[in-house]
Structure 1
Amino acid sequence: MAPAGAGLWRTLRAHQVYGANTDVGKTIVSTVLCNAVQRQKQRAAFLKPVSTGSLDEADDRHLKRYGAGTLTKCLYQFDEPVSPHIAAKEKSIQDDDLVASIHKTLSDWARTDIDFALVETAGGVHSPGPNGNSQADLYRPLRLPIVLVADSRLGGISSSISAYESLLLRGYDIQSVLLFRDEYYQNHEYLGNFFRNKSIPLVPLPAPPAKPSQTDANSQARDEEAMSAYYQQVSQESDILRLLEEMNVKNTKRIEHLEEMAGRAQDLIWYPFTQHQGMRPKDITVIDSAHGDYFQTFGSGRTDNPDSELRPTFDGSASWWTQGLGHGNPELSLSAAYAAGRYGHVMFAGTVHEPALLLADNLLKTLDNPRFTKVFYTDNGSTGMEVAIKMGLRASCDRYDWDATQEQISILGLKGSYHGDTIGVMDCAEPSTYNQKVEWYRGRGHWFDFPLVKMVDGTWKIEVPAELKAELGPDAEFGSLGSVFDLNTRLNTEAGQRYKKYIRKTIEDLVQRHGMKFGALILEPVILGAGGMLFCDPLFQRCLTDVVRDHPELFSPNASSPKAAPSWSGLPVIFDEVFTGLYRLGRPTSASFLDVHPDIAVNAKLLTGGLIPLCATVASQEIFDTFSSPEKSDALLHGHSYTAHAVGCTVAVDSLKTMSDMDGNGSWDQFKTDWSPKAADPAGSSTPEAWSVWSQRLLQDLSCAESVESVFAIGTVLSISLRDAQGGGYTSNAAKGLQQRLAIGGDQFNVHSRVLGNVLYLMSSLTSKPESLREMESMLRASLV
């Protein structure tokens, strides 16, 4: 079933009722509120998603009996008076289906004369739903404003505050708190002060009448009479009427705030990578919340359902490539809260804390590179690459006895590279739209053009640049993506020999004829992201690293005796895995596709699963030792105030564990099966060299579309290059049409995507559900094929 949007309607004030514990009177509170609404000549409705126990005692029956005309509905009723996860064990109720049914019911009510609706949960905040998942997580996609029924009994203060914090941790807005007065425990007084400090109104209610003795022959009639009188009295109390008015005002103000956000943003905010001239408020996507793979956006997409103010919008860029374990992941949120409570932030010069130490150990194990021994923390990929460049250049200058203050030390890389927007790493990329108009940009290096991997008309191809065909040979075709990565075989082919010869000759010419000095080789393994989703032939990157390491004489032909090289040779090899690392391409490292162990690597983005900024630059012992000296000035004098942020490190530890567990427990087996050689050939291997969450059939279909030049997919990444008569590139508008069609979307959701010139890319998280991805694929086919 389609993802449910968050709940927000102009004509319907919908709230969800949670209890601080079981048996705290949620249904009585719901009945009081619905009675008050009905007595104001408005229509109220009550929805019980899952009910257990006898029909006579069902909560929706109680509302029908005492709700003064309240419309009631129950989606799933079970006779057994036990927890929903036990009662529903014989009947498969998917969480997504349940949430979608709630959303549909509320949407249907919003199209009628219903003004006010309550969705009541079962038990306490963390009582399990039908599948055993906490209700706080189960109903989170709806993110309805919360009416919390606190506990007036002994221990109720603690359980009420704990319930409040559990809901807050998951991004709920608690709009009001109600509980029954108990003059002995007086929880209402303590909690009143507590919630007043949170600007949340608390309304104490008189306790309901006690049930008559069962020995009384007229007990049921007497009970009904007493309860009717109770509801008649309490529903007219001024505190209740005032609370309902506040709930009405909050609903209106929430919509008004969302309506004005885009205009205010245009007035106040300077956006990254954005030309503001001609930009209008309607070009700005207003995000109310996010959960799983989806933003909940205001006023976007289709307009055929004007009652629905929020719509699920697939986060098609994985929020600039950071999203790995789903928006609003409760486990990561809890990790962050724990670390914030334990540490906040503590400085990291000459100190250590457990999260930083544990992350360093776990990251080294995850990267599984025998060269790596040291971890240096920064806050994002750009600053992490600044550190990597400082490490690499210092090591080369030390080995070859170069003086960087007297001569230019450059880098080797690939055309289309991008390593960030700080001044230093900008110089490690060729002139481009990103850096040419930055006044301090100098461009210090040589960047090789390279063959590209792409699928064209249903066939995997390696396309060699026209100007390099004489040196590198003709284009080539492959039967599968896995065969492109079969480097053990390809290294011994003519293409491998041609690549190495061309690379060696080019470096030799640059050094000997042009006098260039190179201090590091910097690569984005497999895919160059910001350069336009360029899928480099992995054989070319492998040959480039082999030539650099196998021929140190190329880089200092006149040096009489460079220092010994126990762990690295030629130049330090730096891998920028900020985008492609940590399972983004389906493996712990993208370096593994090349079977290369770099000397320095940088990981960020997915490091914390998409929750908080953090970066780690990892290096070999020999690189580290280069900075060891009696002189303080020889140290790596780099850092920032939030180095090794304890919250980020804690989240990263849990994020790495979750990703590793998914890799080992078969979470991606369905995708791997689709990409396995055995899928096409029963005699083939069942484990693919490379796989994607995007189906092979999708690539086949899109690659044959008239408007498509080429496509590729690997891991969570899908790239679509649109034909452009002007030649493409970052300034191309060829992909805008597809982007706009996806933004309109289909009946179920729309898509927020980013384009890089004539390339539109889509990216899922590592936890994306196959059903959502297949729906995305249908949307793409409809837009292109």
Structure 2
Amino acid sequence: MSSPVWHPFTQHGLGEPIPLVSHAEGAALYTGDGRRFIDAISSWWVTTHGHGNPRIAAAIADQAARLDQIVFAGWTHEPAEALARALVEMLPAPLAHVFFSDSGSTSVEVALKMALGFWAHRGEGRHRILVMEHSYHGDTIGAMSVGARGVFNRPYAPLLFDVGTIPYPAAGREQATLDALEAACAASPAPAAFIVEPLILGAGGMLVYPPRILAEMRAVCARHGVLFIADEVMTGWGRTGTFTACEQAGVVPDIMCLSKGLTGGVIPLAVTLATPAIFDAHFSEDRGRMFFHSSSYTANPIACAAANANIAIWHDEPVLERIADLGARQQARLERIAALPAVRSPRRLGTIAAFDIADGEGSYLSAIAPRLMAFCRDRSILLRPLGNTVYVMPPYCIDDADLDAVYAALTAFVEDGAA
């Protein structure tokens, strides 16, 4: 009997195998037939400290026995209060207000609504959102609207709102990006906000740009009073080598989105942080000016408890040292595979290593991706290329033996499989 499950980003018509995972530990997944798979992509960029972290698991069990769920509209609970306080302490001022949601996409939706609400309540007709070329911010309608238009969202184009697109700051063309942003911010009517993935564009192909450009883009927006939204859903929690990517550029956005690693990648939770100016624009005795957004599971106590345990790990354990060590180990292996003739544009940012495989198609639907996924699956490795872009983004706890196995498989594929 076939499964009734409809999987995300999966073309069921191809009949590709879908392994049944029974349990996980550290950097490994285990399937029902007894195989051990190396999780080379942190289970879609979420798992930071490793699967089955005992501190996070214990916090979840303890909280589930005490308070599992409560409406968050007009009510509160200590796990959420503690988490909000901790986040405000960890992040730079003036990011002082924390709004909870349940995924990266919804944290972006919240950010966009905050930005539009800010201008509406100030009586200014700013509605246009600026975005970066090749960006990706999620799969809900607003998040798709501020992402690159293409195969991800083509069937839903009638639902998407219009945006202004700023070119990606490719090497040698950074000034063109800054000039385009300057012109767009100076246009009339002025735009409401500019949303970016700081330092690296994830689903757009792991495209990296320097901190200097991030800082200059922030400065352009500040000069023109355009709100700056940093989507740190993927880049936060150490992926780029620092707690947030904005930290490397000395940038403080008006609004920041965090998810994925917020709970160590264990359970869904997201936050959107905002400055007092954003909060104050909604603060009133007029109930019609409240921020109209929620979900049934906003600030779920169990998820908040997991996030608090994750933050305790950051405070108590040498997480940044582990991140630096993994980055160095990734770099050494990336340099070796970069010598292969079919490898293009090797790049690394923090714990993320990526390269492109020479391919005439070079798109998300490149035939290389399914071939490489199958090749790695046969070798007990979970890898999920972005078209002809290959990336390795493992949990911080991965050991040398597993990392060697991943790069051995990639080397074999590039030398034999790609040909």
Q: 1:504 aligns with which of 179, 182, 186?
A: 182
Contact 2:121–2:282 under 8 Å retained in 1: no
1:736/1:706 Cα in 2 relative to 1: closer, same or farther (>3 Å)? farther
Partner of 2:24: 290
Look at both structures and tell me which one has the larger radius of gyration over its CA atoms.
Answer: 1
Partner of 1:698: 333
Q: Structure 2: how far apart are the matches of 1:781 and 1:410?
A: 45
Partner of 2:198: 525
Structure 1 residue 420 displacement after superposition: 1.4
Contact 2:357–2:414 under 8 Å retained in 1: no
Structure 1 residue 693 displacement after superposition: 5.1
3-state SS in 2 of match to 1:755: coil
3-state SS in 1 of match to 2:97: strand
Q: 1:720 aligns with which of 331, 355, 375?
A: 355
3-state SS in 1 of match to 2:385: strand
Contact 2:242–2:320 under 8 Å retained in 1: no
Partner of 2:279: 624
Is 1:735 matched up with 2:390?
no
Q: Which amino acid aligns with 2:8?
A: P
Identity of aligned residues (%): 32
Matches within 5 A, 1:215-234: none
3-state SS in 2 of match to 1:425: helix
Partner of 1:344: 68
Q: Structure 2: how far apart are the matches of 1:736 and 1:279?
A: 12
Q: 1:633 aligns with which of 282, 288, 303?
A: 288
Contact 2:323–2:351 under 8 Å retained in 1: no
Matches within 5 A, 1:105-504: 264-265=2-3, 268-280=4-16, 283-298=17-32, 309-367=33-91, 369-399=92-122, 401-403=123-125, 409-438=127-156, 440-452=158-170, 462=171, 464=172, 500-504=178-182
Contact 2:26–2:52 under 8 Å retained in 1: yes
3-state SS in 2 of match to 1:310: coil
Partner of 2:407: 777
Contact 2:184–2:191 under 8 Å retained in 1: no
Contact 1:430–1:445 under 8 Å retained in 2: no
Once superposed, what is the RMSD of the aligned Cα atoms? Answer: 2.2
Matches within 5 A, 1:498-647: 500-508=178-186, 511-512=187-188, 517-550=190-223, 552=224, 570-647=225-302
1:278/1:650 Cα in 2 relative to 1: closer, same or farther (>3 Å)? same
Q: Which amino acid aligns with 1:269?
A: V
Residue by residue over 1:545-597, the C-alpha shift from the partner in whole angstroms, topping out at 9 and shown as x without a partner, is 211112x2xxxxxxxxxxxxxxxxx1111111111101122211111122100
Q: Structure 2: how far apart are the matches of 1:385 and 1:403?
A: 21
Moved more, 735-744 or 756-765: 735-744
Contact 1:423–1:440 under 8 Å retained in 2: no
Q: Which runs of 5+ in 1 are unaligned?
A: 1-262, 299-308, 453-461, 473-494, 553-569, 672-691
Structure 1 residue 736 displacement after superposition: 3.4
Residue by residue over 1:578-625, the C-alpha shift from the partner in whole angstroms, topping out at 9 and shown as x without a partner, is 111011222111111221000110111100012110111111111000
Q: Structure 1: how far apart are the matches of 2:139 and 2:178?
A: 31
Partner of 1:8: none
3-state SS in 2 of match to 1:709: strand
Partner of 1:155: none
Q: Structure 2: how far apart are the matches of 1:784 and 1:694?
A: 20
Q: Structure 2: how far apart are the matches of 1:548 and 1:713?
A: 28
3-state SS in 1 of match to 2:355: strand
Q: Which amino acid aligns with 2:254?
A: D
Higher relative contact order (CA 8 A, sep 6+): 2
Structure 1 residue 666 displacement after superposition: 4.1
Residue by residue over 1:617-671, the C-alpha shift from the partner in whole angstroms, topping out at 9 and shown as x without a partner, is 1111110000012221110011111111111111101101213433468445644
Contact 2:166–2:177 under 8 Å retained in 1: no
Contact 1:294–1:313 under 8 Å retained in 2: yes
Contact 1:321–1:605 under 8 Å retained in 2: yes
Q: Structure 2: how far apart are the matches of 1:714 and 1:297?
A: 31
Is 1:744 matched up with 2:392?
no
Q: Which amino acid aligns with 2:7?
A: Y
TM-score normalised by structure 1 residue count: 0.51
Moved more, 646-655 or 764-773: 764-773
Structure 1 residue 270 displacement after superposition: 1.0
1:593/1:669 Cα in 2 relative to 1: closer, same or farther (>3 Å)? closer
1:630/1:646 Cα in 2 relative to 1: closer, same or farther (>3 Å)? same
Residue by residue over 1:693-733, the C-alpha shift from the partner in whole angstroms, topping out at 9 and shown as x without a partner, is 5432322222221222222222222222111113x121212
1:598/1:535 Cα in 2 relative to 1: closer, same or farther (>3 Å)? same
Structure 1 residue 288 displacement after superposition: 2.0
Contact 2:345–2:355 under 8 Å retained in 1: yes
Q: Structure 1: how far apart are the matches of 2:104 and 2:324?
A: 30
1:660/1:529 Cα in 2 relative to 1: closer, same or farther (>3 Å)? farther
3-state SS in 2 of match to 1:342: coil
Q: Structure 1: how far apart are the matches of 2:329 and 2:164?
A: 35
Q: Which amino acid aligns with 2:2?
A: R
Partner of 1:250: none
Residue by residue over 1:430-489, the C-alpha shift from the partner in whole angstroms, topping out at 9 and shown as x without a partner, is 32212121154334211212234xxxxxxxxx3x4xxxx5xx5xxxxxxxxxxxxxxxxx
Contact 2:111–2:272 under 8 Å retained in 1: yes
Q: Which runs of 5+ in 2 are unaligned?
A: none
Q: Structure 2: how far apart are the matches of 1:757 and 1:776?
A: 18
Residue by residue over 1:469-515, the C-alpha shift from the partner in whole angstroms, topping out at 9 and shown as x without a partner, is 5xx5xxxxxxxxxxxxxxxxxxxxxx6xx65445324544xx25xxx
Q: Structure 2: how far apart are the matches of 1:652 and 1:610?
A: 9
TM-score normalised by structure 2 residue count: 0.92
Residue by residue over 1:175-221, the C-alpha shift from the partner in whole angstroms, topping out at 9 and shown as x without a partner, is xxxxxxxxxxxxxxxxxxxxxxxxxxxxxxxxxxxxxxxxxxxxxxx
Q: Structure 2: how far apart are the matches of 1:397 and 1:721?
A: 44
1:277/1:738 Cα in 2 relative to 1: closer, same or farther (>3 Å)? closer
Contact 1:395–1:572 under 8 Å retained in 2: no
